[in-house]
Structure 1
């Protein structure tokens, strides 16, 4: 390793729970939907969907008594959450908006990699008051949802960067597994569920107060630790 810091080639962000805290919007929409079919939906029920693909979540909701086609469930929930975003605003996670803006200022490419529908992701991006991302890879853009590595590999390919030079920021076990499987340096920032013992390269309790320099230092230290040639 020389003394010159190498910056990551790109930083790829998960959306729900990492960039924004839309989980309460999703949980409220799920609860209302299940109850409209006479079922009950607890906080514990909702937790099992955190980080899951939407169609996988729809199957679980069908099991809770929602007699709708899986795609119709996905569309219904997406509409409900989009309405909440429009009326209540984008609920950024602590430090996320500031770190994202700092990365943009530093000229480091950024991507949003989410299992939400593309229209859902774009509605969030459109409500951010600066150009936040170079690309969006959403759940309906890939064949295999997280924890499969395809979403992150696709984003790296579209940005024309080596996945090994990328930092992935995730808040769910599903997402951390996807980042690690892709070969990216995976930074876990837990939100609703703990992320210990998943093998993430680093665990930060929050993004609050973090900047591009912190990510560059992390990139350098992990590379030095693994001895990976860059």
Structure 2
């Protein structure tokens, strides 16, 4: 049985949620109009398919392919502005040194994930990557299927797995998988309140300390 560590991407590996807030704060209003944007609410942790579904239920009539084209263009701009989280490379080094298998589960489209992976020296060490948005066979967060699949692919068990998440929907699904869950708060937008994690970390250096003290029961 392996030890596994699974990353969320947005707000964890890359500071994209603050970048969306800074560089794309009016994007939803411009795309959907103020009333529909209000119905969507906070999009953190949502897939673009989920967002489109809510918008369509509230009168949004744009063709989905056109919608995705617009969203992908905005995402490319955002990821060009977003910084890789300080210390994540050292965390990856510590994980590999300690014998952890690494996976990545994200609500973002695979196209968006591929904007980030080339920026990571450890990207090739992800042994399983899931874009929940691009897997219609998987229910979106907070259903734990994406994490359970990744745990199985890494030949681990929930008891030997740590998941690093930032959004409350992500924390909820991580906990539902049975894994030990760290709530990462370094990149949260101001005012966002986390809840439900086993432990919280203010930065990647604290995450390293947590994994060093984590005791795996095989």
For Structure 1 versus Structure 2, the TM-score category normalised by the shorter chain is 0.7 to 0.9
Q: Secondary structure at the match of 1:16?
A: coil
Which residue number in structure 1 is paired with residue 8 of structure 2?
14
Which residue among 103, 112, 117 is the counterpart of 1:120? 112
Aligned ranges for residues 29-108 of structure 1 at < 5 Å?
29=24, 31-32=26-27, 34-35=29-30, 39-40=33-34, 48-62=42-56, 66-70=60-64, 72-85=66-79, 87-88=80-81, 90-108=82-100
**How far, CA to CA, are the matches of 2:34 and 2:102 in structure 1?**
39
Return the structure number with greater strand share: 2
Which residue number in structure 1 is paired with residue 130 of structure 2?
137
Q: Secondary structure at the match of 2:126?
A: coil
What CA RMSD, in Å, does the superposition of the two structures yield over aligned residues?
Answer: 3.1
What runs of 5+ residues in structure 1 fail to find an aligned partner?
1-6, 224-228
Q: Is the 8 A contact 1:101 1:132 kept in 2?
A: no
Q: Secondary structure at the match of 1:18?
A: coil
TM-superposed CA distance for 1:68, in Å, is 1.7
* CA deviation map 1:135-182 (0-9, x unaligned): 211121352111100110111121121122100010011001110111
**How far, CA to CA, are the matches of 2:27 and 2:8 in structure 1?**
26
Q: Secondary structure at the match of 1:162?
A: strand
Q: TM-score, normalised by structure 2?
A: 0.80
**How far, CA to CA, are the matches of 2:11 and 2:151 in structure 1?**
21
Q: Work out whether 1:203 is the aligned partner of 2:200.
A: yes
Q: Work out whether 1:164 is the aligned partner of 2:159.
A: yes
Which residue number in structure 1 is paired with residue 172 of structure 2?
177
Q: TM-score, normalised by structure 1?
A: 0.76
TM-superposed CA distance for 1:206, in Å, is 2.6
**How far, CA to CA, are the matches of 2:48 and 2:92 in structure 1?**
25
Q: Is the 8 A contact 2:46 2:107 kept in 1?
A: yes
Q: How many residues align?
A: 210
Q: Is the 8 A contact 1:8 1:216 kept in 2?
A: no
What runs of 5+ residues in structure 2 fail to find an aligned partner?
none
TM-superposed CA distance for 1:104, in Å, is 2.8
TM-superposed CA distance for 1:107, in Å, is 3.4
